[in-house]
A and B are shown apart, each in its own frame.
Chain A
């Protein structure tokens, strides 16, 4: 990567694997459980978080020297809230059905621990470019897990992917349904999201034993 120095590239690469915000830091679990029943919702959620975290990190980083530390949380909240409102309005304008599916969870991006966590831990102490990369990296790390979880939940729970009936029609009994296969209703329920996230954590730590804490 000629574009980025090694140190900068690590800002994007680390959160994707060995410092993943969901599987290693265990942040942002609430939305990972709530909106991963459908792949489409998970993708939109990931993009929204990418937007909010990428721009938010830059804004906070630029303001970091003028924010009084006593009120920094309030300032951070206002920045997130403003960005989330933009996302919410855009969704309502261009993807109304989807915004209804995501409902309150778009608004709840404000409370997503990953965002405030990156503001506090990174943007307040680093320059704008590095903060931007950090925001993008963490949002991608979050998005990857969300999409993996949603992929399995939608495929096994509803037999569809992005709404396409990839496994056949359950009512007309085509595809695998002709052999007596049935959708797994448990996959649609939030507890199963927790279990899928748990399995991802398990697989990740089996492959890289250094991640196992005592």
Chain B
């Protein structure tokens, strides 16, 4: 344990100076602290905030790896190098080294920029303000590369991360005090600041965007299209993917959001490790299904004409909404963020339900913002404290009534 002791010595050396939090953070990230408390009664548990965060990151690793394969697969498929998958999840066309490395070299820089910039800001703030480095960015840093298009320019990502961490989190007082989910703040910033890189039919497949080809002096053909399913539905086009493709994730989209199967696995991991709230996940799915059913019945009852621009999204089978776009990813990894979600159990049901409900609503009625789940979660983040307040007040009132009955 040479590293541990060296870190400890450094920590002692810089104790009381401004640099102390930086060494302390590295030390406790890697090892148990050298000092433990001696007196008083303590609950002993292995899971501090850093371990909790690491569990979430572990749940996301399958999505990240799949995202790397998928980025390469979509690219090779688009330029006609390989055929579409035919034999289910373990298709040999998909799991090739070639696919993986194309994706790996595209996505690794995203991860590095996200962590480098984000943790850099956390360290700077900790040193300036003289508090311990906060763990909050560990999960955010992993979420960010998973929810952006694969070809997003790295400097844009860096700008967005600075904005998201400073404006979304630090101004509110740091980890645990933020109102909005920082990862979604970063994505929303990108979405509104650089819409041409975040939506449309060119950005979702590596190499499809002519601007990227220019930068790379591309030898790729210029007729690649890489529309997401939501994008084609919003324009009333036929969707070229079947439900199984959507479920397994062989579709274009943000890096880690495509494979519903792996997201469900990650979600189960979070539920069994008691880190993610199953109430939020379940109620959000229910909310989305309810809204989907309402739209389906409106479409099938003939209340809306087939020429309407909403028809094709409205008549999408209600359960398809769970498979396409970022809904599954948002529900499992973003809506359950313990800081920004509702805290009370009853509140979680309401919060989750409304996220699902509003996601599909935005998705269908505003084709300019096909990714409704991002906006729905941000909106409900704002309302979460209000929901909690009324749940608690309701409980207080109920108990007050009981009290009166007894004393009377």
Q: Using a CB–CB distance below 8 Å, which chain A residues touch chain B?
A: 180-182, 184-187, 189, 195, 198, 202
Asked if B167 and A185 make an inter-chain contact with CB atoms under 8 angstroms apart, the answer reads no
**Across-interface contacts of A185 in B (CB, < 8 A):** 192-195
Known A195-B167, A202-B171; contact A184-B153, beta-carbon cutoff 8 A: no
Instruction: For the complex, give the distance between the alpha carbons of A187 and B215 in Å.
Output: 25
- Closest A-chain residue to B188, C-beta based? A186
**Across-interface contacts of B155 in A (CB, < 8 A):** 180-181
Asked if B156 and A182 make an inter-chain contact with CB atoms under 8 angstroms apart, the answer reads yes
Asked if A180 and B153 make an inter-chain contact with CB atoms under 8 angstroms apart, the answer reads yes
* Pairs A-B, 6 closest by C-beta atoms: A186-B193, A186-B192, A184-B193, A185-B193, A180-B153, A182-B194
Q: Using a CB–CB distance below 8 Å, which chain B residues touch chain A?
A: 153, 155-156, 159, 167, 171, 189, 192-197, 211, 215
**Can you name 24 A-B pairs with beta carbons within 8 Å?**
A180-B153, A180-B155, A180-B211, A180-B215, A181-B155, A182-B153, A182-B156, A182-B194, A182-B196, A182-B197, A184-B159, A184-B193, A184-B194, A185-B192, A185-B193, A185-B194, A185-B195, A186-B192, A186-B193, A187-B193, A189-B192, A195-B167, A198-B171, A202-B171
Asked if B171 and A186 make an inter-chain contact with CB atoms under 8 angstroms apart, the answer reads no
Instruction: For the complex, give the distance between the alpha carbons of A180 and B209 in Å.
Output: 13
**Across-interface contacts of A181 in B (CB, < 8 A):** 155
Instruction: For the complex, give the distance between the alpha carbons of A184 and B155 in Å.
Output: 12
Q: Tell me if A's interface is mostly helix, strand, loop or mixed.
A: helix
Please give the distance in Å from B268's CB to the nearest CB on chain A.
37
Instruction: For the complex, give the distance between the alpha carbons of A185 and B194 in Å.
Output: 6
Starting from the known contacts A186-B193, A198-B171, 10 additional A-B residue pairs (CB-CB under 8 Å) come to A180-B215, A182-B153, A182-B156, A182-B194, A182-B196, A184-B193, A185-B194, A185-B195, A186-B192, A195-B167
Instruction: For the complex, give the distance between the alpha carbons of A22 and B215 in Å.
Output: 44
**Across-interface contacts of B195 in A (CB, < 8 A):** 185
**Across-interface contacts of A182 in B (CB, < 8 A):** 153, 156, 194, 196-197
**Across-interface contacts of B153 in A (CB, < 8 A):** 180, 182
**Across-interface contacts of A195 in B (CB, < 8 A):** 167
Instruction: For the complex, give the distance between the alpha carbons of A186 and B189 in Å.
Output: 7
Instruction: For the complex, give the distance between the alpha carbons of A90 and B189 in Å.
Output: 40
Please give the distance in Å from A193's CB to the nearest CB on chain B.
13
**Across-interface contacts of A184 in B (CB, < 8 A):** 159, 193-194
Please give the distance in Å from A39's CB to the nearest CB on chain B.
20
Instruction: For the complex, give the distance between the alpha carbons of A187 and B193 in Å.
Output: 7
Please give the distance in Å from A30's CB to the nearest CB on chain B.
21
Please give the distance in Å from B172's CB to the nearest CB on chain A.
12
Please give the distance in Å from B210's CB to the nearest CB on chain A.
13
**Across-interface contacts of B171 in A (CB, < 8 A):** 198, 202
